[in-house]
Structure 1
Amino acid sequence: MERKSYGHMQCPIARSLERVGEWWSILILRDAFYGLTRFDQFEASLGIAPNMLTRRLKALVEAGMLERRLYQERPPRREYVLTERGRDFRPVLLSLLAWGNRQFAPEGRSVEIVDPATGRGIDPVLVDRETGIPLSESGIRVVAGPAADEAMRRHMSRRPNL
């Protein structure tokens, strides 16, 4: 069964899923944030089959999330480093981590986000960049943007809240 592509859709969530929606991709990005850069490091950390890892790394490079760089001339060896686009995914990972701790960790948190200076735990929230106001379940609307086509405008007019 062939996977459906969402890359052509105007929805930014669908377009994002096209790049990172396969679960190995998010785990590879997590490990890249933890400092892993080499194929064998990802393979050992994830327990992923080499052919699957090769495909996922290639897709992340093509999506502009990772860059493949030569780190050894003889024999030629490459590493995978986060691009600016990849680094911009960090808040998404931190949000997933915090959400997972709240919703799916009945035994308690196995990984925490902390302030390195104080060791105090951090609970991330999504805020408006300009005002700093936290986004909550109420008080915000999702509307069609200036680049939306007519189909997206109709779709969003029927579903104004996220």
Structure 2
Amino acid sequence: MKRKSYQSMQCPIARTLECVGEWWSILILRDAMTGLTRFDQFQDSLGISPNILSRRLKGLVENGFLERRMYSESPPRMEYCLTPRGHAFGPILMCLNSFGNRYFADDGLASVLVARETGIPADLQVVDRRTGREVSWPEFVFVPGPAANEAMRSKLAFSEAVVSEGLAKTS
């Protein structure tokens, strides 16, 4: 059964899922963040079949999260390194780790995010750079952007109305 493609959807979340939505892809990116670069390292870490790993690596390369680099010419061997886009995905993985520790670590914390220089554990929070306020729902909502099509505008109409109502109250 072929999975649904999100490529034609305008939603930025759907478009991101189109590139990294397979759980193997997210775990490959996690492993790349820990320093793994070679096919056999990913395979050993994940216990994934070679054909699935090949497809996921190819997809991550095609979508700009990883780049292939030759590390041996004889025999030819490739490694997979994070690109700037791959590095930019890091905070998402950090948030997933934090969420997992908070809600699914009944048996204890298996992975903790710490500051490299101090070793002090991080207490993640998503913050709006403009205001310094914590970003959380329902205080922050999605509204249509300037390029939103009719389907996106319809999907986000309720949120947009709530924001307009809030703005009218503060005026």
Q: Give the TM-score normalised by structure 1.
A: 0.94
Question: Which residue in 1 is equivalent to 2:80?
Answer: 80
**Any idea what the Cα deviations from partners look like across 1:103-154, whole Å, max 9, x if unmatched?**
1011111111112333221111111133332112232121000111122112
Q: Distance in 1 between matches of 2:117 and 2:69?
A: 33
Unaligned ranges ≥5, structure 1: none
Shift of 1:74: 1.3
Matches within 5 A, 1:11-160: 11-160=11-160
Aligned length, in residue pairs: 161
- RMSD of aligned C-alpha atoms? 1.4
Shift of 1:98: 0.4
Partner AA of 1:88 in structure 2: A
SS in 2 for 1:32: helix
Partner AA of 1:94 in structure 2: M
Residue pair 2:112, 2:121 contacting (<8 A) in 1 also: yes
Q: Which has the higher helix share?
A: 2
Alignment identity in percent? 58
Partner AA of 1:36 in structure 2: L
**Any idea what the Cα deviations from partners look like across 1:13-48, whole Å, max 9, x if unmatched?**
100100011000000000000000000100011111
Q: Give the TM-score normalised by structure 2.
A: 0.89
Query: Larger deviation: 112-121 or 70-79?
Result: 112-121
Q: Distance in 2 between matches of 1:17 and 1:43?
A: 22
Unaligned ranges ≥5, structure 2: 163-171
Q: Which has the larger radius of gyration?
A: 2
